[in-house]
């Protein structure tokens, strides 16, 4: 089985870096993710990453506790930069040249986001990590993932989560819940399935970018997805349930 995708955008939530900790970053988990990314980069796949910040700070949550929403969102965006730099360190220790580009300028620690430069890095087989979300409050890093994927012409978004795909009901509540093998964007939106927020799904729909939702904790899942193995759920096709 050969490689199906040559340029991917991997969306990592902040919680993916947290492992079983209640807060922050688990270095062992980050090393594991870096190794999975290093493996696919070694086989010639171009990898861009958008990383979230929910393991450190969430704007909506702080706003519900009384903080000004836009201000809280800026703090959330800065939190994603901590994750981006940590991930860069792990990737470089795994031997992968990596650049961080931020949507809020932080020139002492990262490059500013420059689309054409990001593409050039990818062509040179460097991993590019996009930090600081979209640079705009009231958005999410899922929407950023859809936006950057469209901008850099990524063929697919890999949405790494803690579950092995999208179900028709909550598998932790309903033992008969069934997993979708594939789903349309319309179905995700109309059924309000929590794949990504609706802005992100709409952007993917408009630009025809498929989303593969899969469990990151299973070692080798990124490689399997790159090889086109049917892991998790793919959004963008027809509706098929397993
Ligand atoms: N955020 C933002 N604009 C963006 C991306 C993120 O304001 O374009 C803020 C927002 O406050 C969000 C926080 O950054 O709560 C962390 O991002 P997100 O919640 O998407 O991270 P994840 O859920 O992936 O860990």
Eight-class DSSP state of 15: G
Pocket test for ligand 1, best of 59, 74, 161 (most atoms within 8 A of CB): 59
The pLDDT value given to residue 1: 67
Q: What share of the chain is helix, strand, coil (3-state, %, to 5)?
A: 40, 20, 45
End-to-end CA distance of the chain: 23
Question: Which architecture, in CATH terms, is 7-241?
Answer: 3-Layer(aba) Sandwich (3.40)
Pocket test for ligand 1, best of 10, 11, 21, 58 (most atoms within 8 A of CB): 58
The pLDDT value given to residue 108: 97
Pocket of ligand 1 (CB under 6 A): 13-15, 52-54, 58-60, 72-73, 76-77, 80, 133-134, 136-137, 139-142, 144
Considering the entire predicted model, what is its pTM?
Answer: 0.97
CA of 123 from ligand 1 middle (Å) equals 28
CA of 53 from ligand 1 middle (Å) equals 6
Pocket test for ligand 1, best of 15, 77, 104, 159 (most atoms within 8 A of CB): 77
Residue among 34, 13, 16, 36 at smallest CA distance from 26? 16
CA of 103 from ligand 1 middle (Å) equals 12
Name the 3-class secondary structure at 145: helix
- CA dist 154 → 37, 58, 116, 170, 191 (Å): 16, 27, 13, 30, 26
- CA dist 59 → 54, 63, 129 (Å): 9, 6, 21
Digit-by-digit pLDDT tens for the chain (242 residues) are 688 999 999 999 999 999 999 999 999 999 999 999 999 999 999 999 999 999 999 999 999 999 999 999 999 999 999 999 999 999 999 999 999 999 999 999 999 999 999 999 999 999 999 999 999 999 999 999 999 999 999 999 999 988 899 999 888 899 999 999 999 999 999 999 989 999 999 999 999 999 999 999 998 999 999 999 999 999 998 888 87
- CA dist 9 → 134, 222, 226 (Å): 15, 11, 11
pLDDT digits (tens, 9 = 90+) for 180-209: 999 999 999 999 998 999 999 999 999 999
CA of 1 from ligand 1 middle (Å) equals 36
Pocket test for ligand 1, best of 16, 140, 195 (most atoms within 8 A of CB): 140
CA of 121 from ligand 1 middle (Å) equals 24
CA of 122 from ligand 1 middle (Å) equals 24
CA of 201 from ligand 1 middle (Å) equals 16
């Amino acid at each position: 089985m050969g490689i199906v995708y040559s340029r991917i955008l991997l969306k990592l939530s902040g919680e993916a870096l947290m492992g079983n900790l209640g807060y922050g970053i688990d270095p062992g988990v980050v090393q594991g993710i870096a190794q999975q990314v290093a493996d696919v980069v070694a086989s010639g796949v171009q990898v861009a990453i958008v990383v979230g910040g929910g393991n450190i700070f969430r704007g909506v949550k702080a706003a519900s506790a009384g903080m000004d929403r836009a201000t809280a969102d800026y703090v959330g965006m800065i939190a994603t930069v901590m994750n981006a730099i940590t991930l860069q360190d792990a990737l470089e220790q795994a031997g992968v040249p990596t650049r961080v580009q931020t949507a809020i300028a932080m020139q002492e620690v990262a490059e500013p986001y420059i689309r054409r430069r990001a593409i050039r890095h990818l062509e040179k087989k460097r991993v590019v990590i996009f930090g600081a979300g979209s640079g705009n409050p009231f958005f999410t890093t899922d929407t950023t993932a859809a936006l950057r994927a469209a901008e850099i012409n990524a063929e697919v978004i890999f949405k790494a989560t803690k579950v092995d795909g999208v179900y028709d009901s909550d598998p932790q509540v309903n033992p008969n819940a069934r997993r979708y093998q594939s789903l349309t964007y319309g179905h995700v939106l109309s059924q309000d399935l929590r794949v990504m927020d609706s802005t992100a799904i709409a952007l993917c729909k408009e630009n025809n970018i498929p989303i593969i939702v899969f469990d990151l904790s299973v070692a080798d899942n990124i490689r399997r997805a790159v090889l086109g193995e049917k892991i998790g759920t793919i959004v963008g096709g027809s509706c098929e349930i397993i």
